[in-house]
Amino acid sequence: MTKLSYAALVSTVLGLAAGLYYRELTKAHEFTGSTQLSVVHTHLLTLGTLFFLLALLLEQAFGLSRSRLFGWFFWIYSAGLTLTVAMLTLRGTLTVLGQEAGAAIAGIAGLGHILLTVALMLFFAVLHRCVTARDTVVRSA
């Protein structure tokens, strides 16, 4: 449970910092166009803070971390979120600075999204196993 609470805290701090970075960078460069920096803040707060807090509640209710797949989910999800947010930040920063983002950035961002997808599949597998196991115990009692 400690990992989940720390992950939620780190996501909150980074999400708030991302919002500040977006505002200050675009203001400093008098940028008024569209940039992916505008979604880094919400990605971190939603996919980071809110999701990890929800996972923390589900951990409390069902003991998700007892599953051997839980560690895989946590680290793959964290890596996917990190890659996705880092590439959004890089691409958005390059846009504000008037530079082109290469195909490698899009590819790495795609890899981040793939990791998030795999991690979410693992999460639901863990959740399903824990809920099913709990239902079995309740029915037999």
In tens digits, the chain (141 residues) has pLDDT values of 789 999 999 999 999 999 999 999 999 999 999 999 999 999 999 999 999 999 999 999 999 999 999 999 999 999 999 999 999 999 999 999 999 988 999 999 999 999 999 999 999 999 999 998 876 765 665
- Residue 138: the pLDDT is 58
Note the Cα 4 to chain centre separation in Å.
12
Is residue 92 within 8 A of residue 38, CB to CB? The reply is: yes
Amino acid at the residue 71: G
Give dist(CA 114, CA 112) in Å, integer: 5
- Cβ atoms 113, 45 nearer than 8 A: no
Q: Among 55, 93, 61, which residue's Cα sits nearest to residue 74?
A: 55
Residues 73 and 70: their CA atoms lie apart, in Å, by 5
**And the tokens for 97?**
């600075």
Q: What is the pLDDT of residue 133?
A: 84
The pTM is what? 0.91
With 0-12 / 13-18 / 19 or more C-beta atoms within 10 angstroms meaning exposed / middle / buried, residue 35 is buried
The one-letter code for the residue type at 4 is L
